Amino acid sequence: MPHGEDSLLDRVAFGRMPADVYCRVHPAALPGHSPVDPRSANPYSRARLALRREVVTSLPELAMFYAASTAAGALFEAPLRNASVGAGRQVYLARQDLHNQCLSRLQLQRELPIIPLGLPDRKSVVTDPQRDARWRELINTPDHHDTHVAAAAVYAQVRAAGHEHTGLSWPSVQAPPATVFLLYQPPLQRADWHPLQTIALDTPAGETLIADALGEAGYTWLADPSGPGYTPDDPDAL
């Protein structure tokens, strides 16, 4: 087990997730066509730092809620994660990859305490250089399975210190300067969110949202939906 995996925090301390507007990408509907409430957490998540009972059987039943501080952050953490990026910061994503995907904007109703994993705030919870190196690995590795035991270790450490473990935050690797928030439900509740807007990504409004979010992050959708030739002649050239 990597150094500090059983005690990844040198101290248990919290940053703050302000009561603000956040974005998340989620399915429009589940298999069987049940619509997804944008306030609902995902009990089956296998994403980065998810808490999974099949990995650590002593964990309680928890669901995961991923959100980002910007629309671009939410998009790059989900449908754009594996998109091709070419010269001139041009992004190619096949239209079919947007099927059944929505982006929702939600207002957080109360400030939440979270474990901060981005620098410099990470120094408030991690001082050991080897633990710090492990956290850099955990928030960057594409192998999300490698992060699940670590997530369980942090959960146990926070609970042992007498605190609820609301979640974690780290800088988006895909779309800086966005911040990613992983929240655990409970203690998070659906009532902590007020839905503001939900846009299906495979619609003209969704395409405009993607183009605008990419533009704000300094990227161009190849081809931008407002222009001709959505599919490039040679996607592999990207």
Q: What is the rounded distance in angstroms from the CA atom of residue 139 to the CA atom of residue 135? A: 6
Q: What is the DSSP letter of 36?
A: P
Q: Answer yes or no: are the C-beta atoms of 26 and 104 closer than 8 Å.
A: yes
Angle at 107 between CA 104 and CA 113, to 5 degrees: 115
Q: What is the pLDDT of residue 235?
A: 43
Q: What is the pLDDT of residue 5?
A: 64
- Written as six digits, the tokens of 220 are 């161009």
Q: CB-side exposure of 217: number of CA atoms within 13 Å?
A: 28
Q: What is the pLDDT of residue 225?
A: 54
Q: CB-side exposure of 16: number of CA atoms within 13 Å?
A: 5
Closest CA to 152 of 2, 52, 41: 52
Q: What is the pTM of this model?
A: 0.86
- Written as six digits, the tokens of 51 are 């808490």
Query: How far separated are the first and last CA of the chain, in Å rounded?
Result: 38
Q: Answer yes or no: are the C-beta atoms of 95 and 201 closer than 8 Å.
A: no
DSSP character string of 40-78: --BTT--STT---TTT-TTS---EEEEEESSHHHHHHTT
Domain boundaries, the chain: 15-83+102-200
Residue-averaged pLDDT of the chain:
87
pLDDT string in tens for the chain (238-residue length) = 344 466 899 999 999 999 999 999 999 988 777 889 999 999 888 889 999 888 888 888 899 999 999 999 999 888 888 788 888 888 888 777 888 999 999 999 999 999 999 999 999 999 999 999 999 999 989 889 889 999 999 999 999 999 999 999 999 887 888 999 999 999 999 999 999 999 999 899 998 998 888 888 888 887 555 444 545 444 444 3
Q: Answer yes or no: are the C-beta atoms of 112 and 188 closer than 8 Å.
A: yes
